[in-house]
Amino acid sequence: MIFLGPLVSSFILGFLILANLLKNSRLPNRAMFLLILAAPVGLGTCSIAMFWAYVAAASHGKWLSFVLIGLLGAYLLIRLVLKSKSKAVQQNFLHLDLPWLKKKPDKAALLYALLSAAALILFCYIFGRFVRNFISASCWEIFGGWDARFIWNLKAKFFFRSPAEWTGMFRQELSFSHPDYPLLLPGAIAWAWNWAGKEILIWPPLVAFLFTACTGLLILWYLFSYVALWSGLVACSYFFIIGAYQFWSATQYADIPVCFFMTASAVALLAAIRAKDSSDRPRVAAQSSSPGPSARERPLFFLAGLLAGMAAWTKNEGLFFAAWSVLILAGVLFMNPMSWPDKKTLACSFIGGLGIPLLNVFYLKIIMAKTGDYLGSGRTASEYFSLVLGSGAKTQVILNGFQTYMTKFDDWNGLWILFFCALLVGLSIKRKEILENSAWIPAAAAILIELGYFAVMHASPHEIHWQIETALLRLLLHAGALALIFSFEVFSPSSRPETETHP
């Protein structure tokens, strides 16, 4: 089990980061959330730290990255222990919200339990099928698809094989591997290779599996926490039968990791808002002796920003998401009645989290790899503007592409049709409810993400039909999980028993 060391170490690092951040959060089912996010956040952090270690020390970058990550882990552990000692240990840190188990059995609770049991059986069957398929596909195509072979793993080889010459990956001769692409995935892969001392073949598919499984489990966590356990299990099962996710997960592309970070960021922001809302309830406010609710949920806003930044450190498309997430944050702060200093504090927390991975992205794009398909291509803003608005024929082709790819049943199993139905229902029948509980965030994020791609496709340097055929389906993957969450939330009855919020 050569992969256990890097896997466990990245998990622990992610766990420590999240445990420090969420220690006093009112997030429901916090332990579950933390366990789902730990490995991806750990891998992202390793990648960020590795990049700076290589920038600072080049030939000694490998060792410096171990030192940096080790020191960070030690600092987080000490901080967590000291804080726990000074504030009295949070006894219910690993608490799962299962209030329906504590209630005296009645008809509703029995129905809830039966539905949950049936959904659990369904989920186990579907997830088992997904895992079997993933293992088979990965074993027969261990080097992954085109992008994995010639972009992500190729960059990881530069990190691993010769730290002194790692900047070779930014040379113009390798334009096919897009020197300006962000490095979360190559860094995460090289982290394990550096640890093992060899290019272990199992690691890239394992990382791909982790991100896919965690995306599904994140959907489960969200719906479990805010709708119902059985709803989460059905949604998670649905996610794992979607053809596009099944296929692309085994190709080791960066699209599913970016989908994970986008979904996690939007969900964390939504959870932060709801945690704040719940604190306004007198019952909880009375229990709370800590600083104001906004200050208390500041780390969740920081985490939402960090996750959005990690999306940008995974793929260029994540940069768009970072911009959209700031826009959504502005909307959230505008719509929620808070004092101006509170709004400023929360916005600063979000931007602070976002800024950490963005620093890597900007350093990469401004200093290391100055040319790219879009940024650094030499085209001016007005050229982009005229490209987006100036070609009706191209717009028609792109619209047709979206329609064709969104409605392909084998790829999506009807997800986008359900999403549009949910939008109709949400806008017409459940508008007030959706606005009140901020459930519009996943829908807004999904729409903005795809709208951004729609605009960018006009400016693509590649032939438009080729671009649509090779990229559009993968671009739809990014927002798929958010569309799924929104659809389930709109159509589900608010059946979940009242969530106990606890520090």
Partner 1 sequence: MSKTVKLVLACVFYALLCLLILRSKTPEVRPVPQALIQGLLSGSHRGYIEFGNEFSGFKKYFSEKIPATFLMDFPFNPYAPTIAQYYTAQSYFVPMILNPEPEEKVAIVYCTNHSIADQRMQQTGYRLAAVEGDGKGIAVKI
**Residue 345 Cβ, how far from partner 1 at the closest point, in Å?**
37
Interface stretch with partner 1, choices 18-26, 239-247, 337-345, 452-460 (CB under 8 A) = 239-247
* 467 CB-near residues (< 8 Å, 6+ apart): 457, 460
Instruction: Select from 29-37, 88-96, 121-129, 212-220 the region that touches partner 1 (CB under 8 A).
Output: 121-129
How far apart, in Å, are the Cα atoms of 260 and each of 6, 311, 391?
Answer: 20, 8, 33
Residue 136 within binding range of partner 1, rule CB under 8 A: yes
Site string for partner 1, 421-440 (x = CB under 8 A): ----x---xx----------
Q: Note whether 178 binds partner 1 by CB under 8 A.
A: no
Which region, judged by CB under 8 A, interacts with partner 1, from 87-95, 213-221, 251-259, 413-421?
413-421
Read off the tokens for 383: 């050229």
In the complex with partner 1, the residue whose CB is nearer, 146 or 334, is 146
- Inter-CA distances, 46 with 50, 375, 430, 485, Å: 6, 26, 42, 29
Q: HSE on the CB side for 460, CA within 13 Å?
A: 21
Q: Is 238 in the site for partner 1 (CB under 8 A)?
A: yes
Please list every residue from 3 through 42 that binds partner 1, using CB under 8 A: 3
Amino acid making up residue 349: S
Backbone φ, ψ for residue 430 (5° rounding): -110, 20
- How far are the Cα atoms of 63, 200, 202 from residue 3, in angstroms, in the given order? 19, 8, 8
Q: How far is the CB of 432 from partner 1 (least distance, A)?
A: 9
Instruction: Write the Ramachandran bin of 438: left for phi over 0, alpha for psi from -120 to 50, otherwise beta.
Output: left
The C-alpha atoms of residue 30 and residue 172 are separated, in whole angstroms, by 46
Whose Cβ is closer to partner 1: residue 206's or residue 312's? 206
Only one of the segments 60-68, 174-182, 268-276, 387-395 lies at the binding site for partner 1 (rule: CB under 8 A); that segment is: 174-182
C-alpha span between 480 and 478 (Å, rounded): 6
174 binds partner 1 (CB under 8 A): yes
Exactly one of 86, 91, 102, 140 binds partner 1 (CB under 8 A); that residue is: 140
AA identity, residue 193: W
Q: Which of 105, 466, 469, 498 binds partner 1 (CB under 8 A)?
A: 466
**Torsion 479-480-483-484 (CA) sign:** negative
- Measure CA 59 to chain center: 32
Matching residue, tokens 């929360």:
346
Interface with partner 1 by CB under 8 A: which range of 73-81, 98-106, 411-419, 451-459?
Answer: 411-419
Which x/- pattern, by CB under 8 A, does the window 318-357 give for partner 1?
----------------------------------------
CA angle, residues 206, 218, 292, in degrees to nearest 5: 130
Contact set with partner 1 (CB under 8 A): 1-3, 122, 126, 129, 132-133, 135-136, 139-140, 142-143, 146, 149-150, 153-154, 157-158, 161-162, 165-166, 168, 171, 173-174, 176-177, 196, 198, 200-202, 231, 234, 237-238, 241, 243, 246, 410, 413-414, 418, 425, 429-430, 466, 491-493
